[in-house]
């Protein structure tokens, strides 16, 4: 899914390459020498902080 559209299909960009997909996390993780899981966890931490969640 594009993580931002809500379709819950993590591999497809719904025809719009700007959407956030697993590929986005793979590229970001590689750039920072992280695992994909670590990149997703760090993203989640920041999103929870920005949304005022624990």
Per-residue pLDDT tens, the chain, 54 aa: give them.
689 988 888 888 888 999 999 999 999 999 999 999 999 999 999 999 999 976
- Our count of domains for the chain comes to 1
Rg (CA), the chain: 12
Of 40, 33, 27, nearest to 48 by C-alpha is 40
pTM: 0.85
Question: Does residue 11 contact residue 22 with C-beta atoms inside 8 Å?
Answer: yes
Domain extent, residue 17, equals: 1-54
Other C-beta atoms closer than 10 Å to the C-beta of 49 total 10
| Nearest-angstrom CA–CA distance, 44 and 25 | 12
Q: What are the distances in angstroms from CA 36 to CA 4, 15, 52? A: 17, 23, 24
């Amino acid at each position: 899914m594009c993580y931002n559209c809500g379709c819950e299909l993590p591999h497809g960009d719904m025809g719009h390459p700007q959407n956030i997909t697993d590929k986005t996390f793979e590229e970001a993780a590689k750039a920072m020498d992280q695992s994909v899981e670590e990149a997703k966890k760090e993203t989640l931490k920041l999103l929870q902080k920005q949304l005022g969640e624990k």
